[in-house]
Amino acid sequence: MNITELTVHELKDKLKNKEISVMDITNSYIDRINDKEKDVQAFVTTLTQEALEQAKNISGEEGEYAGIPIGIKDNICTKGIKTTCSSKMLENFVAPYDASVMEKINQSGMITLGKLNMDEFAMGASTEYSYFKKTRNPWNLNTVPGGSSGGSAAAVAAGMVPWALGSDTGGSIRQPASFCGVVGLKPTYGLVSRYGLVAFASSLDQIGPITKDVEDAAMLLNIIAGHDEKDTTSENIEKKDYTKALIQDVKGMKIGVPREYFGEGINPEVKAKLEESIQTYKKMGAEVEEFSLDIAEYALATYYIIACAEASSNLGRFDGIRYGYRTKNFKNLKDIYRNSRTEGFGAEVKRRIILGTYVLSSGYYDAYYKKAQQVRTLVKKEFDKAFEKYDLILTPTSPTVAFEIGTRSNNPLEMYLADICTVSVNIAGLPAISIPCGVNSDNMPIGMQLIGNKFEEDKILRAAYAFEKEIKFRDNYKPEFRK
C-alpha cells in the first residue's frame, strides 16, 4: 500500500482500523515531499520538522482528523508561520493570528505540512507570477499547474499533501484543479469565512478545498464552512453535512448546458470530452438540455474591472509604512511609498493596481466601474433564471488543458482567457466544482465544471460524486512527472 496515494477518507478508515499510524502517514508524506518537491516546486514553506514533532504527540483525541496532513495556500494567515502571498512585499510576514479556517483546521487535529505557492496576491492563472518560483504540473513538468492556487493543486496531484486549501476569486481553485486532474470546489460567497485570507477582490474571494476526490471535498467543506462573526459577509445559514449528499444517483436531475461555453476558443479535444461527459450524465438518468446564457460573453471584462478595482483598494495598505516590505532606498516619505511599492510588487500586481485605479477615477468611474456593476446584476439575474429550470449548469472548467511554461506569461490577455469559463460564477456568488472528466491525446487532464444555485453545494457534490464513480478517473489515469 502506498500511503500517499490514498484519499483522506481512506486514510481515516485505515487509521481507525489501526492498519496504519499517524507516524506512518507523516513519514510517508515527508518522504514523498523529499522525493518530488525538487521537480514540482509547490511549496513556499515546508513544515516537515514541525509536522514530525506534532505527529509524535498526537493521541487521536485531538479531533476528528487527528494526524491528517494538509497544505495551505500561502495567502491564508497561519499564526507564527510565514504568509507571503508569494510576493516580495510579504516575504517576511509572519501572521500574528490564524485565519478562521485555520482555527477550524487546527481544532480538527490536522497537521499543516506547509504553505503552498501561488500567483502573487492570487493574480494569475499559471502560478508563474510567484515571486519565489514557478510550480510545475505533475502530469508534465514542462507545463503550468494553473493558478493562482497552482501550488495547492500540484501538491495534491503529486501526492505531497492528501488535500489542501486554495482560494478562488475568478477560478483559482477550479482552473488549477482542472489542469492537475484533481477536484476543486469554490463555495457559495459567504459560506466560508474570509477572515484571515489576504484580500484580493473582497466581493469575489472564497476559500475552498482542493482534493483527490469528491468525498474528500465534501469532508473538507464540512470542516471549513459556517458562520463567522469576524467576517461581515459571512452568511448565517443552517449547517449542512455535505457527505450526506454523496449518493450515487442523478436520476431526474436537470442539467443545463450553456451553448456559449462550447463555442469558439474551446479546444476541440476539451469540447469532445465534455460532450462525452454529457452523454454519461444522460446514461445515468439525468435530464440534460442546452440553453443560452448570453451574458457570459461580458463576464470576463466585467470580472477584470471589478477585481482590479477592489484589488487597487485592498493593496493600498502595502506601502512600507503600514504593511509590507520597506525600501532601503529613500530620502523622504514619498520615496518610501513609491519605492517600497515599486520594488515590492511584481508586474502583474502593478498592472491590476493601475487598471483598478483607472476604472475608479472620477472621469471613468461611470463608464467602467459603474457599468461593470450593472452587468454584474444582469449576470446574477441570468443565472437566477437558469436555476428556475435547472439543478445544475455544466461547462468546461477551462478552454484548454495545461499550457507550456512561458507561453502566456508575457501576454496578459491570453492569460486572462484561461478563466473565461469560471469568472461568471464568482460574479454571481455561486458555488461550483471542477472534477476531472478524462484526458486528451497527450494524457493531460480535462476538467468539467458543475455550477449550482446559492448554497446548493450538496447538489453539485451529488452529481460530481455519481460521475466520479462512473468514470473512475483516478483508477485509470495518474500523473507521470514527464520531463
CB atoms within 10 A of CB 363: 7
H or E segment and range at residue 65: none
Catalytic one among 100, 172, 398, 409?
A: 172
Instruction: Please name every residue paired with 71 in a beta bridge, in sequence order, or none if there are none.
Output: 114, 164
Per the annotation, the verdict on 478 as an active-site residue is: no
Find the angle CA(358)-CA(297)-CA(387) to the nearest 5 degrees. 115
Catalytic one among 28, 126, 130, 148?
A: 148
Q: d(Cα 290, Cα 297) in Å, to the nearest integer?
A: 17
Q: What is the amino acid identity at position 333?
A: L
Catalytic one among 12, 28, 36, 73?
A: 73
**Quick one: 37 or 168, whose CB is closer to ligand GLN?**
168
**Cell of residue 156, nine digits:** 495534491
Please report how close the Cβ of residue 172 comes to ligand GLN at its closest, in angstroms: 3
Asked if 210 and 164 count as a contact pair (C-beta separation under 8 A), the reply is: yes
Q: d(Cα 130, Cα 148) in Å, to the nearest integer?
A: 9
Q: d(Cα 274, Cα 445) in Å, to the nearest integer?
A: 12
Query: Strand 111-116 vs strand 69-73: parallel, antiparallel, or unpaired?
Result: parallel
Please report how close the Cβ of residue 267 comes to ligand GLN at its closest, in angstroms: 18
Please report how close the Cβ of residue 170 comes to ligand GLN at its closest, in angstroms: 3
Where residue 45 falls (left for φ over 0; alpha for ψ -120 to 50; beta otherwise) is: beta
Cell numbers 486514510 correspond to what residue? Answer: 11
**Position of minimal CB gap to ligand GLN:** 172
The torsion angles phi and psi of 465, rounded to 5 degrees, stand at: -65, -45
**Quick one: 62 or 120, whose CB is closer to ligand GLN?**
120
Asked if 32 and 69 count as a contact pair (C-beta separation under 8 A), the reply is: no
DSSP letter at 198 equals P
Per the annotation, the verdict on 172 as an active-site residue is: yes
Write out the residues near ligand GLN by the rule CB under 6 A: 122-125, 148, 168-172, 200, 307, 419
**Quick one: 4 or 206, whose CB is closer to ligand GLN?**
206
Per the annotation, the verdict on 73 as an active-site residue is: yes
**Quick one: 171 or 256, whose CB is closer to ligand GLN?**
171
**Quick one: 167 or 339, whose CB is closer to ligand GLN?**
167
Please report how close the Cβ of residue 308 comes to ligand GLN at its closest, in angstroms: 8
Please report how close the Cβ of residue 168 comes to ligand GLN at its closest, in angstroms: 5
- Mind telling me the catalytic residues? 73, 148, 172
